[in-house]
Amino acid sequence: MTEFQINDPSLESQWRALILIGKNSATYKFSFAKSLLELVDKETTSISLTELSIPFARHISEHLTTSDKQRNAKSSQFLNYCRQFNDGN
């Protein structure tokens, strides 16, 4: 764990940890960021997991249409549901 995580539990530090730690091939980071940017237009200071889930799933599904994987995971139930959505199921 890096020093800023240990000594700084602020929201900014948590965001930095999410973006900087982990592989850049982890598409969830980009889908999460896109979802937050989309929701910021509503000028709210907080969102529920339910509100975040729709744009997040949509962005993951969009990514799967151009690159059918998320990191190096062989299997993911969530990704399989997104693929089924893309297939119209």
Q: Read off the pTM.
A: 0.69
Q: What token pair was written down for 36?
A: 């937050």
In 3D, which of 88, 84, 82 has the Cα closest to residue 59?
82
The reply to whether 77 falls in a domain is yes
The reply to whether 51 falls in a domain is yes
pLDDT in tens, 32-52: 888 888 888 777 778 888 989
- Cβ atoms of 40 and 51 within 8 Å: the answer is no
pLDDT for the residue numbered 85:
94
Q: Which residues contact 29 (CB under 8 A, 6 or more apart)?
A: 18, 19, 22
Which residue segment(s) compose the domain that 71 sits in? 26-86
pLDDT for the residue numbered 74:
63
> How many domains does one find in the chain?
1
The reply to whether 19 falls in a domain is no
The reply to whether 14 falls in a domain is no
The reply to whether 45 falls in a domain is yes
4 CB burial (10 A radius; 0-12, 13-18, 19+): middle
Distance CA 43, CA 36 (A): 11
The reply to whether 20 falls in a domain is no
pLDDT for the residue numbered 26:
66
pLDDT for the residue numbered 73:
63
Tens-digit pLDDT profile for the chain (89 aa)? Answer: 555 556 777 777 777 777 777 666 666 888 888 888 888 877 777 888 898 999 999 999 998 898 876 666 667 888 889 999 999 99
